[in-house]
Every structure is written in C-alpha cells, then in structure tokens.
Structure 1
Amino acid sequence: MRIGIVGAGIGGLTAAIALTRQGADCVVHEQRPAPDDDGTGIQISPNAVAELRKLGVDLDFAVEVTSRELLRWADGTVLGRTDLSRYGAPYLTMRRGLLTAALRRTDVHYGRRCATVRDDGSGVTIEFTDGSRERYDLVIGADGLRSAVRAVVAPAEPIDSGLVASRAVIRSDAPPGVRVWLGPGRHCVAYPIAPGLLNLVAVTPAGRHPDPFGGWDPVVRGLLGRAGEWDRRALYDLPPAPVWHRGRVVLIGDAAHPILPFIAQGAAQAIEDAVALARSPDLTAFRASRRDRVRRVYELSRAGLRVHHLPDGPGQRDRDRGLAVAPADGHDWLYAV
C-alpha cells in the first residue's frame, strides 16, 4: 500500500515508522521548507515512550524525570506530587527538535503545502499549492491544529482560548522532575531537557501585562528573569472531530483532536494514534479504539483552563485539599504501559 502522510511532526513521523514496519510505502509531505530544529522542550509520558521503544526509536538523548509536582504560586508549597517512576517505561523530557530528528526514518518532502485532498473511490489525490499532485491508496492528515486535511474530513475552526504560552530555554541545574506552579489566571512550568538546560513555559492571559508574575514565588521570578528570547504562541481549543476519516482519508494527532497543553499529552496521544492506526487497517475500528481514551484526555486537559488558574479562595482551597489526598495510582489509567 502506498500511503501519503501530510505533516512531518511527531504524529506523522511516528506513523511513517509504524506503517513502514507493516510493509507500507510511506511518503511524508511537510509545508515547512526545512526540518524543524526547535530547541524548546517537550514531555513524553510512559504510555508513549513504551510505543516509541517498540518501534526502535533511540531516545538516549532524553532526560528521565521522576516526579511531577504541583506548587502554590506564592511560595512554592507542594500541593500534589505524582511519582513518575512507578510505570513500565520512563517519563522523558527532551528538546523537541531532537525527537523529530530521531523519528525521521524516511525521506520527507519539504516545502509541500497541501491544498486539498480528493478521494475518488479508487485512490486519493493530494493537490499541493504549487499545482503538483500525488496519488495514494491512503492519506493520513497529521498536519496539526489548522489541518488542511481535516477541512475535507470534518471542517471546524479552532477557538482562541484567550491564553498565550511563552516558551524559553535557560541554563540552569534543576531537580529531575517537572514543576508546575499554579496561580490566579496563569501558571508556570519548568523541567530539564538536557544537562544544565531547563525548559520554561509561562501561560498567561493574552495581552500586555507589565509584570504577569509579580508577587509569585521567588524561584519562579528568578527563572523567568533569566530567560532571553521567548517563543510566544496563542493557545487554541477544539473538541475532537466527530469523524476521523472519510473514505481513505484519515486524521491523527492534533488534526483529529487538538489537546490543550495542561497535562502534556498532545504528542503522546499523536504517538498512540499512529501506532493504533498501523495496527488496525480498518479505519472505523481505529477510531473506535481511540475515541473514549482521547475524549477522556481532552476533557482532563481542558479542565486545566479553570483548575490551574483558580483565584485564591474557597475553590482554590478545595482543589488544594484534593491534590493533597490524591491516590498514588490516580494517573495509572493514563501512564501505565
């Protein structure tokens, strides 16, 4: 089977590896003019790490983190802690560009922007914006939030969440864990991605804020103060598509179900999609196998819009009490291999 994959992100490249192992001839098209060398960080949880290991992906460059701590914004008090070493695979953090490089096992045709996809019943044609065309037995849309392929399967416009995620990498030694400070209207995340390098993500309301983390934990202010250039991107929300395929055109990852970054599962769920698709050539069965899990992940992540950003008061105190008594196995449904 000849398969066209639109998008050379984590989901598309994982699909190419998994399907090639099943004997498919995969061709990957990417609209960017060159490989992504993004140096900012990404978290890959045990559920996805286990799948990448089965595919033979070398992740020796990654950092293994042993815990995820939720902290109080004002003083860094630990509100809740998840032991990440209790699962059948490690929880890894790394530079995003190094991960995509490790996943590039097949040629990627760069500078090819998909205009539309047409399934005539006997095959699927991708039309590109330069006027060229390619024909395949199956086309996979792994082209992200603003997917051109999704437009012909389940059209929908992303909704601006009103939040912006600002990312930066700083030189800093740090504990081998993910730390998340929760505060009124905003939060901050820090985790190591290489020896001496720390990835920072500051999520704030859109617009200008002279000192968005004024009065916060001095540790947070110290980390943010050391950041140089920030990569700022608006966060968009969109429920999972009601259908993931039409004919021989199928969606995976953010093209099918964009997931807000509050529980760091966007890449992991794209990896799970890619592997599940390779295991299940029946597209209806593929979607059925993923639907309930993806919906649960989406809803948990979306809850972060409110739960992560509660103002001090009764709601915040109830949240903090719940985090303090959360069971050790509370994340097993998500992370366990």
Structure 2
Amino acid sequence: MKAIIVGGGIGGLSAAIALHLRGWNVCVCEQAPALTEVGAGLQISPNGWRVIEALGVADHLAKVVFEPEAIEMRLGTSGRRVFHLPMKGYALKRWGAPYFHVHRSDLVDALAARLAELAPDAVRTARPVSGYTSSGVVQFDDGETQDADLVVGADGLHSIIRRQMLGCQSPRYTGNVAWRAVVPLADLENPPPPTACVWAGNKRHAVTTRLRAGTMANFVGMVEQDEPAPEGWRVEGSRDDALAAFLGWDPTIVRLIEHAPVLNRWALFDRPPLPRWHDGRVALLGDAAHPMLPSMAQGAVQALEDAWTLAAILDGADDIEAALGQYYERRIGRTARIQAGSAANARMFHKASVLGRIGFYGPMAVGARLFPSLVHARQDWVYRHDVTGQT
C-alpha cells in the first residue's frame, strides 16, 4: 500500500513514520527546497511524548530536550508568582510520561532522521502539490501525477488539500498577533526560570521556556490587535514594536526582547471544527484539519496524535474510505475541545482590569497552593490520553 503525505512538517513526518511501521510504502512531498523550521520552542506534554516514543524518535531527542521544573504563572508587569506546580518527575508519576521542551527544528530533524532510518528515499523536497482526486491521484505543480492508496494533507493552515476538499473559506483571524524569539541563555543576565512560565497581562501574555538542554531561552508573546500582522512564520518584526508591546513588563521579558537575535511576528488564525477531514482516500491532519491558538501548547502534540491514530485505524483496514471516516470520528471531539480550550486560555491570560485580575488569579493562587493535585487534575483529560494504547 502506498501513501503520499503532502507536507514535511511535524505532522507529515510523524504520519510517514507511523504508516511505514505498519507496512506502508510512504512518500513525503514537501514544497520547500529543504526540511527547515524557524527557531521556536515546543512543549511536548505526556500525551505527545508517548507518540514520540512509539515512533522510535525519543533517542534522537535525548540530548536536546529540557524537562521543566514546574508549570507556573506570573504577572507580566511585576513578575509576581500566581502559582507554581511541580512538573519534573511529577508528570511521569501522574500521567505516565514526561513533559519536555524541545526546539521545533530539533524535533523536525529527529523525525526526519528516524524516517531516513526506515525509508531513506521517502522525502521529496521542492515538490509542490496543486491538487488531488478522491481516488488517490496527486497532481503536482509541474503537471506530473502520482497514484496512491492514501493521500494525507499535512500541509498546514493554508492547506491546498483542505481548500480543494472543503472550499476556499479563509481562516479566521483570532484578534491576536504573536512574537517569537530564541535567545542563548549566556546572553541573559536575568534569564527566565527553568519552568514553563506564563506571564499574564492586560490584553497580552508571554510564555517562556528553555530549549536545547537548557542552553537557550524561548519567548512567545501574544498581543491582542485589531489588524492582523503579515502572515508567515519567517516574517521579522521590529524590536521597537515588540518592546512597545511589552512596555513596563518585568525585566526578564524586556531583556529577552532586547537580546533576541531575531524577532518573528505573525498573525494567529484558526478555523471552526470542520464537518469532515476526508474525501475518498484523502485525509487531513494537523493544522490542515484543526489549527489552534498556542495557549494550551497542544498544536504539535495534536498533530502527533493525529498521525498515530490515522496509521492505527488504517492498519489492516479493508476499506480505506470507511477507516478515514472512523479517524475523523475518533479525533474531532478531542481536537475541537482543545481548540476551544486554547482560545479560553488566551482570554484567561489577558484579563484587562485590575479587579478582573485580582478576582480571577487570587483564587487560582490559593487553590494551587492548598490543593495542587486538584489543579493538576484539570489537565488529566489532555495529558493522560494515550493514542498509542488505542485499537
């Protein structure tokens, strides 16, 4: 059985590995001339790490991941801690797998290396796709076509596959733009804490993590803005604009912006849950199916879950089209709930008024101090979920 995967990002490479492990002949078609990613950090929660291990990728990441000591929230302007919940070692005990930070490009490199071990010629770069037929024929920009038993559209927010399948509706602007930077820790006199830290503020928030075995600081800042910024992960923003967006904030955040070699800035979009993810033998995966805000740190992890679930449901299936319908039914409820939760988290982190912040973060701080296990329990449905154990 042959599968063509459109898109060589995290979701596409994971799907290729998962399918190959079940006997499929896979080909990953990436429009870019090389498999590259921007400098950015990811949080891989236990539900995602289980997939990393099942794919055989964990060893490729062993020297570059960072295990945070805790998940915490601080107030953006003062730096005052709202709550601090243990994570290092605790995640494994509570949810059955660790919680790691990883550089996005390190994860892509690890997935590509693992796929190369299994199928050395599986990735084709500079192969933009223009369309498909529901019977599994892929059409390329140069006019060539290829037949497959399965086509997977893992080609992101502006998916060519999704557009043909469901029409040209534009993604909806969420009213937020994001700043992102990675800074060597050696350049910072006051580095962010060795945690996954949310810094909450007035119509904006930031997240700091550590990458590359703790040698780099990762910064993501989300700011409410009526007009979207230019699209694209590689669009550079102005340092003065970033400093203005976080004016008066804790020096930890200000110094990160001041020392960032590059500051990328882009608009954040999502889509409402789609009515279907497949057309005949063609299926969607990852951001092509369910783009979401980064406020639950689940975008990449949900692509990993998609990839494993898709391959598992197809394993031994007599009817590929029926199996793709089952894939949608198994995934749509969970991904829609996480999309909604990500949007709700962004609103929670952006309390505008002083009274609003006191009224919301005060009880949260008390609850986390007195009943930390109950606060952790709010994540059980996300982190304890194990797609690798499903049949």
Scaled by the length of structure 1, the TM-score of the pair is: 0.94
Could you tell me which residue of structure 1 aligns to residue 295 of structure 2? 262
Could you tell me which residue of structure 2 aligns to residue 93 of structure 1? 101
Could you tell me which residue of structure 2 aligns to residue 139 of structure 1? 151
2-side partners of 1:83 and 1:114: how far apart? 45
* Identity of matched residues, %: 38
Deviation at 1:193, TM superposition (A): 0.3
2-side partners of 1:305 and 1:52: how far apart? 27
Asked if 2 retains the 8 angstrom alpha-carbon contact of 1:66 and 1:91, the reply is: no
Could you tell me which residue of structure 1 aligns to residue 209 of structure 2? 191
- Secondary structure of 1:278 counterpart: helix
Query: Unaligned regions of 5+ residues in structure 1, if any?
Result: none
Identify, as 1 or 2, the structure richer in strand.
Answer: 1
Asked if 2 retains the 8 angstrom alpha-carbon contact of 1:34 and 1:111, the reply is: yes
Could you tell me which residue of structure 1 aligns to residue 78 of structure 2? 75
Is 1:25 the counterpart of 2:15? The answer is no
- The answer to which of 101-110 and 244-253 deviates more is 101-110
Asked if 2 retains the 8 angstrom alpha-carbon contact of 1:240 and 1:258, the reply is: no
Could you tell me which residue of structure 2 aligns to residue 169 of structure 1? 182
Residue correspondence of structure 1 range 32-181 to structure 2 within 5 A: 32-57=32-57, 58=59, 59-60=61-62, 61-84=64-87, 85-86=90-91, 87-104=95-112, 105=115, 106=119, 107-119=122-134, 123-155=135-167, 156-172=169-185, 174-181=192-199
Q: Which of residues 380, 385, 390 in structure 2 aligns to 1:332?
A: 380
Deviation at 1:210, TM superposition (A): 6.5
Cα-to-partner distance string for 1:75-98 (whole Å, 9 max, x where unaligned):
112223343333311111121111
Deviation at 1:322, TM superposition (A): 4.3
1-side partners of 2:19 and 2:48: how far apart? 17
Residue correspondence of structure 1 range 213-224 to structure 2 within 5 A: 213-224=246-257
Q: How many residues align?
A: 334
Could you tell me which residue of structure 2 aligns to residue 291 of structure 1? 332
Residue correspondence of structure 1 range 224-235 to structure 2 within 5 A: 224-235=257-268
2-side partners of 1:304 and 1:157: how far apart? 24
Query: Unaligned regions of 5+ residues in structure 2, if any?
Result: 186-190, 230-240, 315-322, 369-373, 387-391
What amino acid is aligned across from residue 307 of structure 1 in structure 2? M
Structure 1 residues 283 and 37 mapped into 2: Cα distance closer, same or farther (>3 Å)?
closer
Could you tell me which residue of structure 1 aligns to residue 389 of structure 2? none
- Secondary structure of 1:229 counterpart: coil
1-side partners of 2:263 and 2:253: how far apart? 15
- The answer to which of 21-30 and 164-173 deviates more is 164-173
1-side partners of 2:37 and 2:197: how far apart? 25
